[in-house]
């Protein structure tokens, strides 16, 4: 088994996101940390479901992309009424990024 220091960048990034979202397996913790439900579960025929999008707007507006602080946490509603975390998304507004990183181009 390879040690953590030999991970390729994609594996390291995935591990960082998994570590960062571990505390959000309970949606109540996400809400406590400033995430709020913005988009309901959307499903589309052959394309599957998108899940519930809990967005942290201060993170969206901070002009940064930080793998340890996702702007959006995704949940799937379960038949028992609970929510299961399914993913994380990263979002930055172009104007906020450009203001913090003049001339740097897209993240």
d(CA 35, CA 33): 6
Query: Backbone dihedral region of 79: left (phi > 0), alpha (psi from -120 to 50 degrees) or beta?
Result: alpha
**Whole-number mean pLDDT of the chain?**
87
Q: pTM for the complete prediction?
A: 0.82
| 54-64 pLDDT, tens digit each | 999 999 999 99
> In the prediction, which pLDDT does 96 show?
87
């Amino acid at each position: 088994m390879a040690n953590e220091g030999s991970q390729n960048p994609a594996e390291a990034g995935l591990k960082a996101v998994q570590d960062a979202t571990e505390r959000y397996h309970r949606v109540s913790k996400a809400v406590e940390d400033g995430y709020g439900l913005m988009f309901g579960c959307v499903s589309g025929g052959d394309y599957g479901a998108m899940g519930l999008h809990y967005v942290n707007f201060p993170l969206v507006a901070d002009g940064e992309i930080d793998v340890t602080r996702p702007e959006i946490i995704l949940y799937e509603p379960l038949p028992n009424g609970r929510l299961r975390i399914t993913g994380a998304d990263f979002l930055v507004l172009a104007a906020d990024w450009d203001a913090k990183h003049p001339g740097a181009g897209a993240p």
